[in-house]
Amino acid sequence: MTLIKSISGIRGTIGGEPGENLTPLDAVKFASAYAVWIKANSGKSAPKVVIGRDARLSGSMIQALVQNTLIGMGCHIVDLGLSTTPTVELAVPNENADGGIILTASHNPKQWNALKLLNNKGEFLNGAEGQKILDTADAEDFSYAEVDHLGTVEIIEDYIPRHIQMVLDMPVTKVEQIKAAGFKVVVDGVNSTGGIAIPELCRALGVEVVELYCDPTGHFPHNPEPKKEHLADLCAAVVENKAHMGITVDPDVDRLAFVDETGEMFGEEYTLVACADYILGHKKGNTVSNLSSSRALRDVTLKHGGSYFAAAVGEVNVVNTMKEKNAVIGGEGNGGIIYPDSHYGRDALVGVAMFLSLLTEKKMKVSELRASYPSYFMGKKKVDLVKGMPVDAILEEIQTKYKNEDVTSIDGVKIDFENEWVHMRKSNTEPIIRIYTEATSQKEADDLADRFISELEEIAQRHV
């Protein structure tokens, strides 16, 4: 059982001992700390907070705890009920709210839940803001409202349809062309809110939908992370139904992956690549992804005459770099699309509209589109270390050894070689170094990872 406190929120497993898991006491404590911060940040004694949740089994319990705690702190609540992360992000500024909380553990299994915290722009908090909330929670420095100053609740049940309409209204969404294309898709909604939002969006675009696991019961039918090894049913259903493609999302609908017409994965790293290809074809500009994302985005950006920039891992870091570099699109290689003309948050609905628009423009099958992009292969491994070992010193030694290569050190150490790269970063929760590699074949990617595992272990031995 686990409780992880970070600047982006608190997440953990349901049940067990307070302080070690996400128990009712922990939910109340961190909701109270967020209320203290939002009051100070907004300068209001009764700020407005938007709350939405995915469909996981603990969602209604955690929402009741968080929502009533905020009411007890004097906050006014806009309750979206079952929702998606990007829907809540859009609702915060649209409702002139002072912040928002999304109750979701994203791609984690059903025993997990989390409080994801937003500012008044509907964006994730920065490091200093998140740390202040953690400190307030640890100190339990709260004061609750008296009875005449308790908060109120406004229920809005149609925000997913509003979100869909916003996507349809984007100038880059080629609604009539998509309707004319006669697409048929299979949607795996992993029995969460993507099973509501994605089929409804597709039907609004005139797409025939075969639903797979789209009942938002919270009983995830497979590991909810949208990776190849978890999507055998979707791949088979695409072929069985003679569909043009498959679409899948994680439980809170900020990550997006596709399956081609042959039942093969398009590759979640290539979701952003394809969407960027489409946007850059209509609007020249720059792109951003995190250091562990595929080099293919850089290649496509350069092809369109733009510049590519890498950010530290973490959505807030990607967003900050996008703003700094005035990027027209960005995101993460896990299938997260961030389109500033909509909002600064990963949004699978926006990604679906872009991808279908691109298919109508290219007049290609999904497999042909994938074949048109540079082909890279990634490896993801780790080095286990003895607790207390100086991880930073070990990474600094690697950085010094490869100082004549193209080295980036904004988040761990990334070394870009001519035809491959390796990114090494320490875990914030375990005594390990995570190793990400990419090369032009899977063997080369794995070999590169193994090479650096050996080098790191050799350096670590000197620190024992």
CB neighbour class for 447 (10 Å; exposed up to 12, middle 13-18, buried from 19)? middle
pLDDT grade, residue 391 (50/70/90)? confident
> What is the token pair recorded at 386?
């003895």
d(CA 197, CA 114): 21
Q: Indicate whether 149 and 206 sit together in one domain.
A: no
Section 16-31 average pLDDT: 95
> What is the token pair recorded at 271?
């979701």
Cβ contacts of residue 139 below 8 Å, gap of 6+? none
Residues 293 and 303: beta-carbon distance below 8 Å: no
Cβ contacts of residue 243 below 8 Å, gap of 6+? 184, 185, 186, 210, 237, 261
Q: Indicate whether 213 and 143 sit together in one domain.
A: no
Cβ contacts of residue 108 below 8 Å, gap of 6+? 11, 114, 224
Residues 115 and 101: beta-carbon distance below 8 Å: yes
> What is the token pair recorded at 49?
């907070």
Chain mean pLDDT for the chain: 95
Q: Which structural domain range is residue 49 located in?
A: 3-157
- Give the pLDDT score at 312: 93
Q: What is the pLDDT of residues 206-259, one digit of tens each?
A: 999 999 999 999 999 999 999 899 999 999 999 999 999 999 999 999 999 999
Q: Which residue, chain included where needed, has tokens 């491994």?
A: 381
Q: Indicate whether 217 and 349 sit together in one domain.
A: yes
The domain boundary residue, chosen from 157, 175, 209:
157
* Of residues 186, 119, 218, the one with CA closest to residue 198: 186
Q: Indicate whether 323 and 383 sit together in one domain.
A: no
Q: Which amino acid is at 63?
A: Q
Q: Indicate whether 178 and 197 sit together in one domain.
A: yes
Catalytic residues: 106
Q: Which amino acid is at 119?
A: N
Output the 3-class SS for the chain: CCEEEECCEEEEEECCCECCEECHHHHHHHHHHHHHHHHHHHCCCCCEEEEEECCCCCHHHHHHHHHHHHHHCCCEEEEEEECCHHHHHHHHHHCCCCEEEEECCCCCCCCEEEEEEECCCCCECCHHHHHHHHHHHHHCCCCCCCHHHCCCEEECCCHHHHHHHHHHHCCCCCHHHHHHHCCEEEEECCCCCHHHHHHHHHHHCCCEEEEECCCCCCCCCCCCCCCHHHCHHHHHHHHHCCCCEEEEECCCCCCEEEECCCCCECCCHHHHHHHHHHHHCCCCCEEEEECCCCCHHHHHHHHCCCCEEEECCCHHHHHHHHHHHCEEEEEECCCEEEECCCECCCCHHHHHHHHHHHHHHHCCCHHHHHHCCCCCEEEEEEEECCCCCCHHHHHHHHHHHCCCCEEECCCCEEEECCCCEEEEEECCCCCEEEEEEEECCHHHHHHHHHHHHHHHHHHHHCCC
- pLDDT exceeds 70 at position 143: yes
* Of residues 6, 31, 39, 36, the one with CA closest to residue 120: 39
The domain boundary residue, chosen from 123, 139, 157:
157
High-pLDDT (> 70) share of the chain, %: 98
d(CA 447, CA 88): 42
Q: Indicate whether 293 and 345 sit together in one domain.
A: yes
- Give the pLDDT score at 389: 81
Q: Indicate whether 101 and 187 sit together in one domain.
A: no
Q: Indicate whether 326 and 413 sit together in one domain.
A: no
What's the chain's length in residues?
464
Q: Indicate whether 324 and 362 sit together in one domain.
A: yes
- Give the pLDDT score at 1: 56
The domain boundary residue, chosen from 99, 125, 157:
157
Q: Which CATH number do you get for residue 51?
A: 3.40.120.10
Section 76-105 average pLDDT: 98
Q: Indicate whether 251 and 208 sit together in one domain.
A: yes
Q: What is the pLDDT of residues 435-444, one digit of tens each?
A: 999 999 999 9
- Give the pLDDT score at 83: 98
Looking at the structure of the chain, the number of domains it has is: 3
Greatest CA separation found in the chain?
66
Q: Indicate whether 102 and 187 sit together in one domain.
A: no
Q: What is the pLDDT of residues 74-84, one digit of tens each?
A: 999 999 999 99
- Give the pLDDT score at 429: 60
Q: What is the pLDDT of residues 414-463, one digit of tens each?
A: 999 999 999 999 876 667 889 999 999 999 999 999 999 999 989 988 87
> What is the token pair recorded at 451?
């090479």
- Give the pLDDT score at 432: 83
Q: Which CATH number do you get for residue 427?
A: 3.30.310.50
d(CA 42, CA 336): 29
Q: Indicate whether 194 and 310 sit together in one domain.
A: yes
The predicted model scores a pTM of: 0.94
- Give the pLDDT score at 170: 98
> What is the token pair recorded at 295?
């080099």
d(CA 132, CA 460): 34
For helices 59-72 and 24-42, what crossing angle results, to 10°? 40
- pLDDT exceeds 70 at position 145: yes
